[in-house]
Amino acid sequence: MSSKEKHTQFIKEEAKRLGFLSCGISKAQFLEEEAPRLEAWLKNGMHGEMAYMENHFDKRLDPTKLVEGSKSVISLLLNYYPSETQRADSYKISKYAYGTDYHFVIKDKLKDLLASIQEEIGDVHGRAFVDSAPVLDKAWAARSGLGWIGKHSNLLSKQVGSFFFVAELIIDLELDYDTPVTDHCGTCTACIDACPTQAIVQPYVVDGSKCISYLTIELKDQIPSDFSNQMDDWMFGCDVCQDVCPWNRFSKAHSEPLFQPKPELLSKSKKDWEEITEEVFQKLFRKSAMKRTKYSGLKRNLDFLKDC
């Protein structure tokens, strides 16, 4: 076995030991196919108020501009599918935000992975990314054979569906590279048909400015009245396109203790949410991705839903 094969095998085994669902590796190079798609998406204003998407265009498409001397992009998936969900008569929270903020959880695992690589292999340099820098996570994961980009623009896997986080470790070590898998969406349009705000404007193209996740999290202004009665009771994020996807019948509950929701999050009714105080919000979502929208943002979302 060559040292390249040995290193690749070690990294994949270590990723599994750290609790990652799967690990795929691709060569760090310019994302030629994605460049025109990203350009058109931005040009059409589908990023709404997410102005940061316009920044670092070159770095988004070329990891060697982001991490000096980089040779490999290690893509990793971490399952967040919960064993229990909120009660039926509640305003809804996207499943990924049930537990501790994934940024903390995954960053720690990636640091451990890099430390193991350095210990085993030696002088290896790299950076960890958890959607906090200009990296096209899903494009790299697809290139690394971990799944294909579905019509809802999320990464999909035949084995486990799509309820997982995508993260990367970009390093200056040459490894054995994986190959992409084929698209298995076929003629299915379940996600397009089910989207409450018709944000999936055509297969594989999501108008971010119409997406409920954008409206409830990224948008800082008032939610436009055009979306009245279209929010499907989502107060933070939205899972509709994933919930209806046939591939998600293969989703299995995660085993990450930090992603377990607090029982009171699952048990709150609509009335409970409408009456939530800032004190309860801070306590309930102390290390949660829900902090992103802040108490004021959550109240704005709840007021909008209540008035619908």
CATH number of the structural domain 3-84+95-171? 3.40.109
112 labelled catalytic: no
Distance CA(76)–CA(55), nearest Å, equals 25
Percent of the residues in the chain that have a pLDDT greater than 70, as a whole number: 94
- pTM of the shown model: 0.93
**Position with higher pLDDT, 233 vs 30:** 233
Can you tell me the distance from the alpha carbon of 51 to that of 49, in angstroms, rounded to the nearest whole number?
Answer: 5
Element of type H or E holding 142: helix 137-143
From 198, 265, 203, 273, select the one nearest 231 (Cα to Cα).
198
pLDDT score, position 51: 62
Which one of 112, 131, 176, 232 is the catalytic residue? 131
The label of the residue with tokens 């298995």 reads: 184
Q: How far apart are CA 106 and CA 112, in angstroms?
A: 10
Q: What is the pLDDT of residue 30?
A: 83
Task: Select from 238, 237, 231 the least CA-distant residue to 306.
Answer: 231
Q: pLDDT tens-digit profile of 35-92?
A: 667 777 667 676 666 666 666 667 777 888 888 899 999 999 999 999 999 999 999 9
Could you tell me where in the chain the CATH 3.40.109 domains are found?
3-84+95-171
Distance CA 144, CA 25 (A): 5
